């Protein structure tokens, strides 16, 4: 039987969809296919911003016709959006043809939910408020070779005032380090060349034996084999010299840190409940670069948080000038029901928000282009990840996260390749193998 999975959102969700594919395989759906040929279609949703939800609504709605034509097709919707308070009932009402609704905590039940649905006409809904265990007991069908994602912890306790993640992913839970090391060892044995440790907030990792994130990272990086190690996401409030020391100690750990700053104004950072200041953040970058001079930093930025003034927005611009990020993800603030910020006064109008994001994106792009241009003539080592059908070029990333494209007449996916850069275009570098 065939399956089709539609994924929205972050790496966590991409990896969760690999787990969903693993569960579908156990339930007899072994062949990925187009939606038209699928026997089951699963949506793995995101709710971090309103537009993520609107995308999903549009695509779920579009299946009404298909479902009418193909009565046996099962449509399942799961993930963060379904976990939102009252959302499962809302989805059932809006899209009565949905067969299965499952929350973020209910992923391991998916196989039994499918079996239940096969046996009854009525839709099956399972959304529980919390989950204590950390092992899914499923072998993911991995689709990201040569990279493999490994969860180290789930949930978030930080409650940044704009963010819905703590509500839909629950409290922090760390996997036992023994389980993580076992999984990583297995993946290296299978030939994976890049391991990315995933957590909403990796610095909060602490397992039952008291192991912390820097010690876990040290242990993973000490495993034998030819692989690279990445991790995300870090929080500036938890930045530690110990973490930097571990990054510096191991060649295997990529010299790249994703450290979301969100805003450049201390007043806004306080309203966001981020628990650090602009000065502390910039101090951390200075320390990181003193210890690891070639380390690249990427970030997340939000504009038009409630009450943000033009002056305060300019502090975000000036922080971007100062911080020397290699790239940044930029977002317009999106109110999320149930979060503290959603109840704040002082919403910024759409026109101002759009103006701010345009100016920010221009600046970020200019800085990225300037950084990329410096690579022309240099040689970088990339791990080849895939083939770009449009460009007809192989592509991969160097340890700093820069994307490099090159031509080859044989399959290079999974190879470490030395590229002499001949051209830079925005964030992408083009080169020849040397």
The residue nearest ligand 5AD at its CB is: 300
Phi, psi of 328 (to 5 degrees): -150, 145
Number of residues written out for the chain: 434
- Residue from 31, 37, 61, 159 in contact with ligand SF4 (CB under 6 A): 159
Tell me the DSSP string of 301-325: EEE--TT--HHHHHHHHHHHHHH--
Strands 416-425 and 428-433, bridge-based pairing: antiparallel
Q: Which C-beta is closer to ligand SF4: that of 165 or that of 403?
A: 165
Q: Which candidate, 200, 111, 184, 105, places its Cα nearest to that of 148? A: 184
- Residue from 85, 300, 355, 433 in contact with ligand 5AD (CB under 6 A): 300
Q: Which C-beta is closer to ligand SF4: that of 105 or that of 371?
A: 105
Distances (CA, A) of 150 to 13, 139, 182: 12, 12, 11
Tokens of 114: 């499918």
Tokens of 350: 């759409």
Q: Which segment (112-120, 153-161, 206-214, 388-396) binds ligand SF4 by CB under 6 A?
A: 153-161
**Residue 165 interacting with ligand SF4 (CB under 6 A):** yes
CB of 351: closest distance to ligand 5AD in angstroms? 17
Tokens of 59: 């695509």
d(CA 28, CA 114): 11
Consecutive H or E run containing 140? none
* Beta-bridge partners for 173: 154
Q: Which does 156 bind (CB under 5 to 8 A by kind): ligand SF4, ligand 5AD, none?
A: ligand SF4
Q: Which does 202 bind (CB under 5 to 8 A by kind): ligand SF4, ligand 5AD, none?
A: none
Task: Identify whether the C-beta of residue 152 lies closer than 8 Å to the C-beta of residue 172.
Answer: no
Tokens of 185: 């060892």
Q: Which C-beta is closer to ligand SF4: that of 159 or that of 329?
A: 159
CB of 262: closest distance to ligand 5AD in angstroms? 5
CB of 65: closest distance to ligand SF4 in angstroms? 37
Task: Identify whether the C-beta of residue 81 lies closer than 8 Å to the C-beta of residue 87.
Answer: yes
Which residues in 259-278 contact ligand 5AD (CB under 6 A)?
260, 262
Q: Which C-beta is closer to ligand 5AD: that of 331 or that of 387?
A: 331
d(CA 371, CA 400): 12
Q: Which does 333 bind (CB under 5 to 8 A by kind): ligand 5AD, ligand SF4, none?
A: ligand 5AD
What is the contact mask toward ligand 5AD in residues 316 to 345, using x (rule: CB under 6 A)? ---------------x-xx-x---------
**Residue 200 interacting with ligand SF4 (CB under 6 A):** yes
Tell me the DSSP string of 38-86: -SEEEEEE--SSHHHHHHHHHHHHTTHHHHHH-TT-EEEEEEHHHHSTT
- Residue from 42, 52, 76, 163 in contact with ligand SF4 (CB under 6 A): 163
d(CA 78, CA 56): 11
Number of residues binding to ligand 5AD, judged by CB under 6 A: 12
Tokens of 332: 């317009």
Q: Which segment (27-35, 55-63, 151-159, 212-220) binds ligand SF4 by CB under 6 A?
A: 151-159
Tokens of 249: 């100690």
Q: Which C-beta is closer to ligand 5AD: that of 67 or that of 87?
A: 87
Q: Which does 166 bind (CB under 5 to 8 A by kind): ligand SF4, ligand 5AD, none?
A: ligand SF4
Which residues in 234-273 contact ligand SF4 (CB under 6 A)?
235
Q: Which residues bind ligand SF4 (CB under 6 A)?
A: 156, 158-160, 163, 165-166, 200-201, 235
Q: Which residues bind ligand 5AD (CB under 6 A)?
A: 48-49, 162-163, 260, 262, 300, 302, 331, 333-334, 336
């Amino acid at each position: 039987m065939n399956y089709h999975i539609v994924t929205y959102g972050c790496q966590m969700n991409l990896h969760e969809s690999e787990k969903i594919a693993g569960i579908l395989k156990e339930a007899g759906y072994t062949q990925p296919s187009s939606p038209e040929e699928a026997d089951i279609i699963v949506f793995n949703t995101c709710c971090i911003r309103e537009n993520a939800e609107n995308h999903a609504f549009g695509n779920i709605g579009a299946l009404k016709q298909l479902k009418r034509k193909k009565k046996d097709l099962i449509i399942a919707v799961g993930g963060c959006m379904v976990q939102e308070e009252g959302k499962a009932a809302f989805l059932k009402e809006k899209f009565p043809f949905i067969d299965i609704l499952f929350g973020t905590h209910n992923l391991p039940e998916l196989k039994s939910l499918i079996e239940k649905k096969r046996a009854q006409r009525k839709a099956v809904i399972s959304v529980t408020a919390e989950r204590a265990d950390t092992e899914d007991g499923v072998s993911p069908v991995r689709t990201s070779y040569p990279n493999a994602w490994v969860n180290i912890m789930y949930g978030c306790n930080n409650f940044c005032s704009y963010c819905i993640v703590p509500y839909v992913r629950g409290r922090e839970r760390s996997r036992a380090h023994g389980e993580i090391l076992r999984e990583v060892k297995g993946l290296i044995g299978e030939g994976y060349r890049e391991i990315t440790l995933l957590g909403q907030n990796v610095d909060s990792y602490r397992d039952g034996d008291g192991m912390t994130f820097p010690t876990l990272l040290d242990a993973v990086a000490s495993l034998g084999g030819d692989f690279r190690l990445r991790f995300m996401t870090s929080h500036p409030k938890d930045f530690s010299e110990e973490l930097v020391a571990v990054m510096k100690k191991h060649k295997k750990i990529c010299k790249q840190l994703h450290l979301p700053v969100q805003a450049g104004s201390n007043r806004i950072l306080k309203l966001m409940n981020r628990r650090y200041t602009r000065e502390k953040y910039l101090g951390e970058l200075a320390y990181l670069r003193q210890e690891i001079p070639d380390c690249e930093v990427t970030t997340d930025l939000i504009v038009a948080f409630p009450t943000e003034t033009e002056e305060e927005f300019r502090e975000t611009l000036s922080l971007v000038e100062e911080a020397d990020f290699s790239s940044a993800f930029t977002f317009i603030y999106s109110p999320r029901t149930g979060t503290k910020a959603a109840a704040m006064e002082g919403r910024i109008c759409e026109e101002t928000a759009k103006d701010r994001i345009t100016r920010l994106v221009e600046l970020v792009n200019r800085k990225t282009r300037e950084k990329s241009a410096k690579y022309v003539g240099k040689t970088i080592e990339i791990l080849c990840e895939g083939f770009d059908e449009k460009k007809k070029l192989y592509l991969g990333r160097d340890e700093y996260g820069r994307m490099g494209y090159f031509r080859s007449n044989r399959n290079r996916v999974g190879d470490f390749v030395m590229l002499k850069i001949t051209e830079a275009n925005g964030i992408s570098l083009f080169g020849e193998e040397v």
